[in-house]
Every structure is written in structure tokens, then in C-alpha cells.
Amino acid sequence: MEFTAAQIAGLLNGEVTGNPDVSVSSLAKIEEGQTGALSFLSNPKYEPYIYTTGSSICIVNQTFVPSKALPSTLTLVKVADAYACFAQLLALYDSMNKKEAVIEQPSFIHESAQIGENVYIGAFAYIGANVQIGANCQIHPHVVIQEHTIIGDNTTIYPSVSIYKDCRVGARCVVHAGTVIGSDGFGFAPDENGVFSKIPQIGNVVIEDDVEIGSNCSIDRATMGSTFIRKGVKIDNLCQIAHNVDIDQHTVMAAQVGIAGSAKIGKHVMIGGQTGIAGHLSIADHTKIVAQSGIPSTVKKADTLMGTPAIPINDYKRSHFGFRKLPGLINKIYDLENQLKELLKNKEA
């Protein structure tokens, strides 16, 4: 689908500088632009590319002033926030690529399941008894949705996702391929001989609206009650969320984060990749955790934390500076020991 510069400016409440009738039919990074492509510039680091780009249209901030001549083939659309506006266009482009409403065959849909209007269900999908799927959902091939699960409107479930029984997924959510929602929590109790017996996990997972979950994540069902992923949470690929965890609104986490059972993560928390968070603790709202950190105990006050165990980042940097000097300090100690031995030897003589 093609859009002119004038149409794009109208969508984004922007201003055209150049040819308002030039059209684009694809998107490209500014450094890889070609004729007919739309790009954007928001980071000054990439400004040099705008003077050589082959793109036909580039979205820029209203404050952008070229420092030299732009390509004669380039038209600018000036907006208040180039990055946010380009993201808006990407969302529009993505919505145009959604599957049309159809139920592909072969697939299994239990007779008691309730399917909303304008829903796509891909081949080999399994929809269990008393499942409810809202309007405008996209259920891709090989998805398994077990009995009594509810999926909200406008949610997309990508291929090979498994959602166990009794779970809840809100509206406008996205769950990427291979993720498992509602598998048993890691609950075992040893007997007097040290043999572990399984504790039944009879709770569920509740995912609220506007959540996005990356590929190959595992979100365990609660032992009792619910594991909660609250409104607006964003979870990257390969994350493990254990039973009875509660992740509050608009928290984000990068890949390979692991959160142990019954941990409570506050609102607007940012968690870097490969962070490990112990169970039965809480983390204050607006906390930031640097990648590969370990959180062994409750964080009562928002801070930026780093290290294992994690400490405030400035303390960590000072500690790390001292650690880097440690080999030299050890050598100095050896030198001082040798000097002391020599002094004692001379004194005895």
C-alpha cells in the first residue's frame, strides 16, 4: 500500500518540506534507504545518513535544521516527535498485515467454545471446552488453548503458544511463539527420606490488558490463587516467571530474566537481561536493575541497582574500581612484606 508525503503528514499532524505528492510503499532504516522507502531520524548520531540516504521520505523532528544540502529526491515530514510518530506508522503498517478472519482447517474447536467476531484461527490450533475468545483476535497455527481459558478482544497469539486451563489473557495483548502460560509451578516437598513429592498447582495465570510477552517464555500457574502479569507489562524473550509472582503495571524486563516464586515486582520497574530475582520478596516501584544483577532480598526504595547481590549503581562502580586495582594492591602488600622481613633480618643481625 502506498502513501504520499501529504497523507503521512496528515496522519501525524506534521508539515511537509519538499514534494507532498512523492509516495512510499516500504519502510527502511535511514542508512539503508531506497527509492520508495520511508525512514525516520530522531537520534543525532544518525544525522550523517540523511545527507546520503536513498529514501524518498524521512520523518524528522520539527527542530531539525540540515547542516548541509539534502538529497534532491528526499522529502521531509516534520513532526513533534519523530521516533513516536514512526512507531505510530509501524503500528498502522502492522495492523494492515493481520490475517483476515477465517478458521483454517484442520483445527479443533470444542462445541462449547465461544468465538468472537472477526477472529482468525490458524491450522492445527486446539481450542478447548468453554474457552472464550474475544473479537478481532488472531490465533496462529499450532496454538493450544485449554479449557475455561478467556482471551480478550484484539489479542494476538503467535504460533505454538500453549495456554493451560483456567488462565486469563486480557485485551490487546501479544504473546509470541513458543511461550507457555499456566504450566505447573515448581512445587515439591521432601519427605523424611528426602524424596520429593509434587505439590498440585491448582491456581492460574491472569494477564491483564496491553501486555506483550516475547517468545519461549514460561509463566507458571499459581499453587493457589493467581500469578499476575498486570496491565501494560512488557516481557522479552526467554524469561521465567514462577508461581504466584505478581508483576505490577508497566514494568518491563529484558531477555533471560528469572523471577522466583511469590516475588512481587512494583510498577514501572525496569529489569535488565539475565537478572535473577529471589522468591518471596518485593521490589519498589520505579526501581531499575542493571543486566546480570542478582536480587536476593526486598528492595524498599526505588534506586538503580547493579551486581550480585545488587547494590546502588554508584556504590557498585566504586567497588568495581577498587576490585580492578586489587592485583596491584596485592603486589604492594607482597613488596611490603618482603621489605618488613628484610628490616627484621637486619635488625636481628
The pLDDT of residue 349 is: 65
Same domain, 224 and 302: yes
Interstrand relation of 3-4 and 258-259 (parallel, antiparallel or unpaired):
unpaired
Structural domain contains residue 263:
yes
Please give the residue range of the domain that contains residue 79: 3-96
Q: Which helix (H) or strand (E) holds 322?
A: helix 313-324
Q: How far apart are CA 106 and CA 171, in angstroms?
A: 26
The pLDDT of residue 99 is: 86
Would you place residue 343 in the very low, low, confident or very high pLDDT band (cuts 50, 70, 90)? confident
Would you place residue 318 in the very low, low, confident or very high pLDDT band (cuts 50, 70, 90)? confident
Same domain, 296 and 174: yes
C-alpha cell of residue 296: 536476593
Answer with the one of 96, 113, 145 that is the final residue of a domain.
Answer: 96
Q: CB–CB of 225/207 below 8 Å?
A: no
Answer with the one of 52, 69, 96 that is the final residue of a domain.
Answer: 96
Q: What is the mean pLDDT of residues 296-319?
A: 93
- Over 80: is that where the pLDDT of 64 sits? yes
As a whole number, the mean pLDDT across the chain is 95
Same domain, 171 and 280: yes
The pLDDT of residue 258 is: 98
pLDDT digits (tens, 9 = 90+) for 177-219: 999 999 999 999 999 999 999 999 999 999 999 999 999 999 9
Same domain, 297 and 319: no
**Residues in the chain, how many?**
349
pLDDT digits (tens, 9 = 90+) for 158-185: 999 999 999 999 999 999 999 999 999 9
Classify each residue of 145-170 as buried b or exposed e, where b means 16 or more C-beta atoms within 10 Å of its C-beta. Answer: bbebbbbbbbbbbbbbbbbbbbbbbb
Same domain, 166 and 68: no
Structural domain contains residue 292:
yes
pLDDT digits (tens, 9 = 90+) for 38-55: 999 999 999 999 999 999
The pLDDT of residue 157 is: 98
The pLDDT of residue 94 is: 78
Answer with the one of 67, 96, 125 that is the final residue of a domain.
Answer: 96
Q: What is the mean pLDDT of residues 141-167?
A: 98
Q: How far apart are CA 257 and CA 92, in angstroms?
A: 30
Structural domain contains residue 169:
yes
Instruction: Provide the CATH number for the domain around residue 79.
Output: 3.40.1390.10
Q: CB–CB of 74/57 below 8 Å?
A: yes
The pLDDT of residue 345 is: 80
pTM recorded for the entire structure? 0.84
The pLDDT of residue 341 is: 84
Same domain, 47 and 183: no
Q: In what order do the strands lie in the sheet with 304-306?
A: 120-121, 138-139, 156-157, 174-175, 212-213, 234-235, 252-253, 270-271, 288-289, 304-306, 311-312
Structural domain contains residue 148:
no
Structural domain contains residue 264:
yes
The pLDDT of residue 49 is: 97
Structural domain contains residue 127:
no
What letter would DSSP give residue 72? T
Same domain, 233 and 274: yes
Structural domain contains residue 141:
no
Q: What is the mean pLDDT of residues 280-291?
A: 98
Same domain, 195 and 249: yes
| Count of domains observed in the chain | 3
The pLDDT of residue 348 is: 73
Same domain, 304 and 319: no
Same domain, 205 and 319: no
Structural domain contains residue 156:
no
pLDDT digits (tens, 9 = 90+) for 69-108: 999 999 999 999 999 999 998 888 777 778 889 999 999 9
Q: What is the mean pLDDT of residues 142-147?
A: 98
Q: How far apart are CA 301 and CA 315, in angstroms?
A: 16
- Residues marked active site are found at 243
User: Is residue 322 packed enough to be buried (19+ CB in 10 Å), middle (13-18) or exposed (0-12)?
Assistant: exposed
Same domain, 208 and 335: no
Same domain, 92 and 31: yes
